[in-house]
Amino acid sequence: MDISNLTFIVTDDCNFDCSYCPQKKEKKTITNETIRTAVEFFYPFFTREGTTQVGFYGGEPLLAFDKIQYAAALLHEKNKTGAKKIQFRITTNGSLLTDQALEFFDKNRFALLLSFDGLAQDKGRKKNSLESTLQVMKRIQAYPGISFEINSVFSPWTIGTFYESIRFIIEQKGPDITFNFNTLDEWSPSDFEMLRKEMDRLREYTAAHYKKTGHIPVKNFRSPVSKPDVFRCSAGINHMAVTPGGELWGCFLFHDFFKTRKDHPQYHDYFFGELAHFTSSYESLYPTIVKNYRELRQDFFQAQGKDCFLCTDLKECAVCPIIAAYSTGSLGKIPCSKCELGKIARTLL
């Protein structure tokens, strides 16, 4: 194994109830024993070729801030010689960001992804949270050791605020932004038409912003560093995720999807088992399961009833197999809405 991404799902609990979130919330928190077992086992497999991203995810991970501190301390001790390059990451709604947490993230040079939908915040994430999240954004920016970005998600019922929401964040001197779309709900032809108009307005605004500042704050609009190629999911291959219950999956999204679908026919294809068992049997377990993850490639998928390898846009498209499965029920089957959203984005970029 060569691990470049290890995620600790520190809790399945959350203090928000976002309208497009598919997670089943549970009062479960990872134990110190599970964290220690994962650190002891995976650290020797951290990649030597680059940086290993160690992420903290939820639910809302700041509900288990002490577990984040504990994991970071163990990894610092393990890596005191600096033999491995490690980057800590966290995804949070920001509502529980205390000065103590910000100072900790600043000292440990965390990459922090704030879930913030701009003017759509009160409709999509939590009512009356727009102003408080805006203030959180500004507080984070006071800590230079934190690498800070924003993720915004838009649904059919908030797509009319898409342009103004992104512009609002930019004009509040926010950090770089990545936007995504909720595909768990149906998009109508009028929703797609609204998106085309909103996307066109945002494209024009971003182009003008670039001419003025020399910077493109919307990461979706930047040219890829490498040439387009067939998308290959990294889950299970060099990505691993440890759950609050001490289970092991190739990515945190697999835990989110399968924890309520234990009778799903694909469940055992992607479940690495209990962490404690895996650490003693990985030489036989890992090759058996990882071969299934290796088949999660865009040219093996299907969209709108057709094989993706026949699509002329194949190398321009990248769809998370789990996000697709939330709509279709099967990994590798892409919903029509996701396919259409991708086409709109590619046409207007």
Q: Does some domain include residue 150? A: yes
Q: Do 21 and 143 lie in a common domain?
A: yes
The pLDDT of residue 261 is 95
Q: Do 326 and 217 lie in a common domain?
A: no
Q: Do 195 and 341 lie in a common domain?
A: no
Using pLDDT thresholds of 50, 70 and 90, give the confidence band for residue 343: confident
The pLDDT of residue 223 is 76
- Report how far apart the first and last C-alpha atoms of the chain are (Å, whole number): 37
Q: Do 214 and 305 lie in a common domain?
A: no
Q: Domain limits at 308?
A: 297-349
The pLDDT of residue 329 is 92
The pLDDT of residue 65 is 98
Fill in the amino acid letter for 345: A
Q: Is the pLDDT of residue 298 over 90?
A: yes
Give the chain's mean pLDDT.
94
Q: What is the DSSP letter of 312?
A: T
| Across 92-119, average pLDDT | 97
The pLDDT of residue 345 is 81
Identify the domain boundary among 205, 221, 237.
Answer: 221
Q: Do 212 and 347 lie in a common domain?
A: no
Q: Is the pLDDT of residue 87 over 70?
A: yes
Q: Does some domain include residue 280? A: no
Q: Does some domain include residue 305? A: yes
Q: Do 111 and 208 lie in a common domain?
A: yes
Higher pLDDT, 340 or 151: 151
Q: Does some domain include residue 78? A: yes
The pLDDT of residue 102 is 98
| Across 275-293, average pLDDT | 96
Q: Do 202 and 316 lie in a common domain?
A: no
Residue 153 parent element (H or E) = strand 147-154
Q: Do 178 and 37 lie in a common domain?
A: yes
Number of structural domains the chain divides into: 2
Whether the Cβ atoms of residue 108 and residue 72 lie closer than 8 Å to each other: yes
The pLDDT of residue 95 is 96
Identify the domain boundary among 171, 191, 221.
Answer: 221
Q: Is the pLDDT of residue 349 over 60?
A: no
Q: Do 168 and 66 lie in a common domain?
A: yes
Q: How far apart are CA 89 and CA 146, in angstroms?
A: 10
The pLDDT of residue 66 is 98
Q: Which of 131-140, 160-169, 266-275, 303-312 has the lowest mean pLDDT?
A: 303-312
Q: Do 212 and 123 lie in a common domain?
A: yes
Q: Is 89 helix (H, G, I), strand (E, B) or coil?
A: strand
Q: Do 48 and 139 lie in a common domain?
A: yes
The pLDDT of residue 85 is 97
- State phi, psi for 169 to the nearest 5 degrees: -65, -45
Q: Scanning the structure block, which residue is given the tokens 């965390």? A: 110
Q: Does some domain include residue 258? A: no
Q: Is 151 helix (H, G, I), strand (E, B) or coil?
A: strand
pLDDT tens-digit profile of 31-55? 999 999 999 999 999 998 899 999 9
Q: What is the DSSP letter of 224?
A: P
Percentage of the chain modeled with pLDDT above 90: 84
Task: Report the CATH number at residue 52.
Answer: 3.20.20.70
Identify the domain boundary among 199, 221, 243.
Answer: 221
Q: Does some domain include residue 338? A: yes
Fill in the amino acid letter for 90: I
The pLDDT of residue 19 is 84
Q: How far apart are CA 270 and CA 264, in angstroms?
A: 11
Q: How far apart are CA 318 and CA 208, in angstroms?
A: 28
Task: Spell out a b/e string for 225-262, using b for 16 or more CB atoms within 10 Å of the CB, else e.
Answer: eeeeeebbbebbbbbbbbbbbbbbbbbbbbbbbbbeee
Q: What's the token pair of residue 170? A: 């930019």
Q: Does some domain include residue 241? A: no
Q: Is the pLDDT of residue 226 over 90?
A: no
The pLDDT of residue 225 is 65
Q: How far apart are CA 326 and CA 314, in angstroms?
A: 21
The pLDDT of residue 324 is 92
The pLDDT of residue 342 is 86
Q: Do 332 and 193 lie in a common domain?
A: no
- Beta partners for residue 218, in sequence order: 177
The pLDDT of residue 20 is 87
Q: Does some domain include residue 281? A: no
Task: Spell out a b/e string for 266-285, using b for 16 or more CB atoms within 10 Å of the CB, else e.
Answer: beeebbbeebeebeeebeeb
